[in-house]
């Protein structure tokens, strides 16, 4: 009996469920493509706001134009900058040194959040960095 039950379960639950397959397929419909483009634009606008803030504060930035992630050159240790934003602005970013030697001296910030939260975050960043 155990072998039959195992065979049934392994066959029945092997692979992606039908509802998930249908949802994935919906992405490729015209309406799905429209929704995907809208969501991408939303996060890229958030990234643009973050990028502008850091550039206005005098930091060099990479990304945020075709990617929801921004790399900000900190001018120092990425962990120290991480700590500064965490303690003074309650902002969490990713220290670039976690990505290897090429990430040292950078932080990575994501634009995946609501516009309201991003606007609040950039205001706290401005205050934390003394501007």
pLDDT tens per residue across span 104-128: 999 999 999 999 999 999 999 999 9
- In a domain? residue 10: no
CA distance 71 to 82: 13
Structural domain contains residue 95: yes
Q: What is the CATH number of the domain that holds 91?
A: 3.90.1150.10
Instruction: For residue 72, count other CB atoms closer than 10 A to its CB.
Output: 28
Q: Which residue has 């516009």 as its token pair?
A: 115
How many domains does the structure of the chain reveal? 1
Helices (H), the chain: 2-12, 18-26, 30-56, 78-89, 115-128
The boundaries of the domain holding residue 78 are 17-128
Per-residue pLDDT of 61-74, as tens digits, reads 999 999 999 999 99
The reported pTM is 0.82
Is 6 among the domain residues? no
Residue 1 resides in a domain: no
Query: Are the C-beta atoms of residues 27 and 36 closer than 8 Å to each other?
Result: yes
Whether 7 is in a domain gets the answer no
- The verdict on residue 48 lying in a domain is yes
Q: Would you say residue 12 lies in a domain? A: no
What pLDDT is stored for residue 109 in this prediction? 97
How confident is the model at residue 54, as a pLDDT?
96
Q: Which residues of the chain have pLDDT under 70?
A: 131
Residue 2 lies in a domain: no
> Burial, 76: exposed, middle or buried (Cβ in 10 Å; 0-12, 13-18, 19+)?
exposed
């Amino acid at each position: 009996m155990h072998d039959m039950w195992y065979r049934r379960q392994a066959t029945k639950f092997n692979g992606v469920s039908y509802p998930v397959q249908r949802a994935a397929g919906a992405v490729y419909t015209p309406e799905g493509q429209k929704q995907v483009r809208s969501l991408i634009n939303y996060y890229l606008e958030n990234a643009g706001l973050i990028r502008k803030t850091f550039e206005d504060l005098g930091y060099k930035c990479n990304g945020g134009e075709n990617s929801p992630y921004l790399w900000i050159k900190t001018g120092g240790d990425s962990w120290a900058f991480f700590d500064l934003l965490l303690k003074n602005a309650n902002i969490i970013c990713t220290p670039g040194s976690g990505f290897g030697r090429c990430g040292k001296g950078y932080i990575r910030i994501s634009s995946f959040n609501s516009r309201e939260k991003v606007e609040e975050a950039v205001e706290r960043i401005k205050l934390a960095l003394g501007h």
